[in-house]
Every structure is written in C-alpha cells, then in structure tokens.
Chains A and B, each alone.
Chain A
Amino acid sequence: MKIKALTAIAAVLLSAPTFVAADENAELIVNGEIEIVTKTAAPAHLAGALDEILSGWRFRADETQSLQTDDFDNPAMIFVDQGMDDWGTVDGSEGKSCASCHGDVEESMAGVRAEYPKWNDTAGEVRTIAQMVNECRTDRMGAEAHGYTSAKMARMEALISVQSRGMPVNVAIDGPAADMWEQGKEMFYSRTGQLELSCASCHEENYGNRIRSDHLSQGQINGFPVYRLKNAKLTTPHGRFKGCVRDTRAETYSPGSDDFVALELYVASRGNGLSVEGVSVRN
C-alpha cells in the first residue's frame, strides 16, 4: 500500500510540472522603467505543446533575479560597455568602425535583436546577428571575422541586444524562412546522444523540475547573450546549444553551422511574445 501511495504522488508530480521559484508573481522592471514580459501566452505554433511561455528569469532565485533590475548591478553591462568601445573602434583595411556606417547604435540597432535570426534576401539564407556582424567585418571593414562564440562577438551581440530591451521577440517563421524553421523544429524534438535526450525532453516536458540540483527552464533564448555567474562571462546562444548537446553525450554541431542557425531560429520563435531581455544574468 505504501508503495502504491508513493507511486501516486510521483505520478501527480510528473504530470504537472510545478516549479519552486521564490516569488512566482515577481515581475522584471529594469532601471525602474523598462518593463520586461517574462511570462505570456505561447505563440500559435506551439499549440498543443505549451500554453504559456516563460523567460529563464522566472526560474532563477531572488538574488539572481534582482541583479537584472538595475544596470549597475547587472555584471553583463560591463561587456556591453566593452562592446560600445568596439563599436567606435576602427579596424581592418578599410579604415572603418561599426559607427562609420551604422552611426548611433541606439538608433540603428533598435529592434534588430527582436527579429533575428531573419531571412536575408541578398544572401538567400537565414542569418543570425553574429553572421551579419562577421559579414560587415570581412566584406566592408576588411577586418578578420570574430570567432563565432568568442568574447568579442558576445559583447558585440550584447551591445546590439540591449538596444531592443523590452521589445517583444518577433521572429518570422513563414515565407522563405519556413524550411529552416521546420529543420530547427525537427532538431528540437529529435532525441540525440548516448542519453537519448531531445531539447523537448528537458525544456518542454520537464521545465520546472530539477536537474543537477538546478531548475530546468523552458530553454528560451530571449535573454541571450547571458552573463553566467558560474564562469563570469557572456554566453551566446550557439555556445549554450553546444553545451546542451554535449550534455546529452552527443557529438555537437559547430557554432555558426546551418544546423545551429536552424535551431536558433526555431528556439527564438518559441519565445515570440516575450520581451528581449538580453543581457540577462543566469546561474
């Protein structure tokens, strides 16, 4: 009887993912002025999978959450400052900086983070922000491309992301991007590695439950690039994907590869409606 009762309790726990954030109704407001949507209705394409989408912020402890309420307390802003220095620094054979063409970052990059990854007509493919940055560097500045997940790339992405904070993520999944989106969706639901885990195994079926003494989030990337307390650095979406795939004990894809671009497009679209939160702070 006792065993049966325990099984029943376990079944209840499994069927309803409950998570134990300190204050479930806490809302995120940055600097007392930018309201960040961290919980909203799921986009239409997630019908049957999720009703509600939650930013990773909601899964963190009070102390970590509060680091994001003030830019001075947010350690990621140091990297945004460095990105700002890079923005105005001339590099490469053409004698140009980012600012030479794009001017004031606050104006030219507002809203960009909310829409990427995005179909690029000229290139005839879906492009990430990092790819666009590198195209500018190699083709227009005559400079060397940054490593896809390098510190320099992460802080440039951070600078660009901050210009869209508070705007809703709005990634297009139809039109020419549809094929890549389907590919990303298939990857999200495909089990991989020796542990035979798909992204969905953890981030859809088990969010809120614990793994390795931590809460599983929904795997939203609206907060990227994130400052991780564990290594005091910025992490980019592809860097995070690589870590996750590695943890399933699979061979990972390369950051910047078509596979990861497809996955980024799909995962980003799962957060359509949440605010761009980057740069965020996570464990």
Chain B
Amino acid sequence: MASGVKPRVKAPKKAAAGEIVTIKTLISHKMESGQRKNKDGSPIPRSIINRFTCDFNGKNVIDIEMAPAISTNPYFQFDAMIPEAGDMVFTWHDDDGDVYSTTKSIAIG
C-alpha cells in the first residue's frame, strides 16, 4: 500500500428530495507518473490511483478512469441529484490493487 493515503469527502448530511448537491472529494496520494527517474537514472515505478467511482444506493453516479499525468492528491468535485435518503459510497482504485473506500449517508429533510 502506498503510504499516507487518506480519502476525504465533503457531502451534505441532509438534502431535499430531488435537490442537486455538490460533492467534493480528495484523496492524498503521491500519484507517481512512472515517467520520472531517480538519482541512479533508473525509472521510478508508476503508482497512481487509476479509477474513482461513486455509487448512491447501489446505482453508479460517476466512474472515472485516471491517467498518469494527473497531479498529486487528486480532487474531484461534481453535482449529484439526491432522489431519496441513502448511502453514497466512494471508491478509489490504486495501481497496487488496493481499494480505498469511504461512505457518506445523506438524509432527506
């Protein structure tokens, strides 16, 4: 597992039914591109988050494939319509096979 990886999500705790809310996400990750070389001249192996997804009550909201040129600590912000109360599950897939996940519950009110 890459070190210092920590997912963060900012989502409202409550929304009106049908309201469009803004979700902000960030995962701390070094996002090593694989194109750099270390002091000996040997390549530093690629280590990035290659996919980010968000599901709401089992239904996919977004699914993003990520590439090596994306900067360290990738940040995504998107709007989502909240039709009902439920859990929003965020997952990040690391090159080394690790999957980081976090969940936010959104109530209707």
Please list the residues of chain A having a beta carbon within 8 angstroms of any beta carbon in chain B.
Answer: 72-73, 75, 78, 81-82, 232
A232 and B72 contacting across the interface, CB-CB below 8 Å: yes
A-B residue pairs in contact (CB < 8 Å), sample of 18: A72-B8, A72-B10, A72-B24, A72-B26, A73-B24, A75-B73, A75-B75, A78-B6, A78-B8, A78-B26, A78-B28, A78-B73, A81-B6, A81-B28, A82-B4, A232-B71, A232-B72, A232-B73
Give A81 to B26 CA distance when docked, in angstroms: 13
**Which residue of A is nearest B30, CB measured?**
A232
Contacts of A73 in B (CB 8 A): 24
B75: min CB distance to chain A, Å: 8
**B interface size (C-beta, 8 A):** 11
Give A72 to B71 CA distance when docked, in angstroms: 17
Please list the residues of chain B having a beta carbon within 8 angstroms of any beta carbon in chain A.
Answer: 4, 6, 8, 10, 24, 26, 28, 71-73, 75
Contacts of B72 in A (CB 8 A): 232
* Further contacts, 14 of them, CB under 8 A, given A78-B6, A78-B26, A82-B4: A72-B8, A72-B10, A72-B24, A72-B26, A73-B24, A75-B73, A75-B75, A78-B28, A78-B73, A81-B6, A81-B28, A232-B71, A232-B72, A232-B73
B58: min CB distance to chain A, Å: 26
Please classify the interface of chain B as helix (H, G, I), strand (E, B), loop, or mixed, using the class held by over half of its residues: strand
Contacts of B8 in A (CB 8 A): 72, 78
Contacts of A81 in B (CB 8 A): 6, 28
Contacts of B71 in A (CB 8 A): 232
Give A157 to B4 CA distance when docked, in angstroms: 18
Contacts of B26 in A (CB 8 A): 72, 78
Contacts of B4 in A (CB 8 A): 82
Give A232 to B28 CA distance when docked, in angstroms: 11
A226: min CB distance to chain B, Å: 16
Give A172 to B63 CA distance when docked, in angstroms: 54
B2: min CB distance to chain A, Å: 14
**Which residue of A is nearest B24, CB measured?**
A72
Give A82 to B29 CA distance when docked, in angstroms: 13
Give A17 to B6 CA distance when docked, in angstroms: 44
Give A250 to B53 CA distance when docked, in angstroms: 50
B13: min CB distance to chain A, Å: 14
A67: min CB distance to chain B, Å: 10
Contacts of B28 in A (CB 8 A): 78, 81
**Which residue of B is nearest A73, CB measured?**
B24
**Which residue of B is nearest A231, CB measured?**
B72
B88: min CB distance to chain A, Å: 16
Contacts of A82 in B (CB 8 A): 4
Give A81 to B4 CA distance when docked, in angstroms: 10
B24: min CB distance to chain A, Å: 5
